[in-house]
Amino acid sequence: MRTDVACTLTVSSPAPATALLQVAVAAPDAEQLIVLTDGRPVDAAEVLVQGARVHRLELPAGDTTITYSARVESAGPAREVTAAEWAEYVRPSRYCPSDQLVGYALSEFDQFRPRAELVAAVAAWVADRLVYTSGSSRPVDTAVDTLLMGQGVCRDYAHLTITLLRALEVPARLVAVYAPGLAPMDFHAVVEADVEGVWQTVDATRLAPTSALVRICSGRDAADTAFLSLFGGRATMCSMEVSATVDGDLPAPDDEPFPLP
């Protein structure tokens, strides 16, 4: 399946600022990144970090436009869970304080059921428990806040799914993706869980088909996967447009958040 993705971001700053950009897909067949401040080119230095391709931008004062596009022909082979990844993604993190929900998770789920069934059960539980509500959460909200509020957006669904899985000793991580079929179109957050030593995708929002997702980056939680982080001065993001389309018919969104084998 060929997928074309693109995004355009505009940033304004009265003084020079540093930006960390994570919009480039993990494995493109072709791509283009253009950064212009008041029409003048700005260099984008790529830095490889665990699970991501990060571009560091030294932005001069002014209005900056970031334009990225890519074509992806295949999702590639399944990703095996390494020993280092197992150790990193089974532990609590900033937005996924799994140590706070161990007792709760054990009371809701049978930790010892087959792994694929357990992951499916957690994702289905989150899908049924939360109401997708745009603008309902704050950037500082953790999975515990989401559980208490009973609502959120894709990152909140992902954080709660990850937190419950880690509380059940299942390594899980957040993955930022382009999501063909998502409405309204935006960057999307889903989860990868360790199922028999392989990372398997799960999306409790059920808003887009998981088979069509295009990976951008992965990390412990949203702190590692933000598409744009600005440092210095009073730089602000003014606008954003995202697109993701497939060549041919788009698969229907999954009936279940995690299709059982």
Q: What are the tens digits of pLDDT across the range 57-90?
A: 999 999 999 999 999 998 778 899 999 999 999 9
Residue 260 confidence (pLDDT)? 36
Which residue would you say has higher pLDDT here, 239 or 51? 239
Q: What is the pLDDT of residues 157-199, one digit of tens each?
A: 999 999 999 999 999 999 999 999 999 999 999 999 999 999 9
Is pLDDT of 106 > 80?
yes
Q: Which CATH number fits domain 3-74+226-246: 2.60.40.2250, 3.40.190.10, 3.40.1010.20, 3.40.1390.10?
A: 2.60.40.2250
Residue 90 confidence (pLDDT)? 98
Beta-sheet pairing, 62-72 with 172-178: unpaired
Which residue would you say has higher pLDDT here, 77 or 243? 243
Taking the model in full, what pTM does it have? 0.94
Determine the Cα–Cα distance for residues 103 and 151; give it in Å rounded to an integer.
Answer: 22
- Where do the domains of the chain lie? 3-74+226-246, 83-222
Residue 41 confidence (pLDDT)? 97
Residue 180 confidence (pLDDT)? 96
Determine the Cα–Cα distance for residues 209 and 126; give it in Å rounded to an integer.
Answer: 17
Determine the Cα–Cα distance for residues 23 and 126; give it in Å rounded to an integer.
Answer: 27
Tell me the CATH number for domain 83-222: 3.10.620.30
Is pLDDT of 261 > 50?
no
Segment 12-20 mean pLDDT: 93
31-35, 50-54, 148-152: the lowest-pLDDT one: 50-54
Q: What is the pLDDT of residues 118-135, one digit of tens each?
A: 999 999 999 999 999 999
In the chain, the amino acid numbered 235 is A
259: Cα separation from own chain's centroid: 19
Q: Please say whether the beta carbons of 99 and 173 come within 8 A.
A: no
Q: The dihedral of CA 140, 146, 149, 153: what is its sign?
A: positive
Residue 197 confidence (pLDDT)? 97
Residue 50 confidence (pLDDT)? 84
- The tokens 């989401």 sit on which residue? 146
Residue 255 confidence (pLDDT)? 53
Residue 154 confidence (pLDDT)? 97
Is pLDDT of 259 > 70?
no
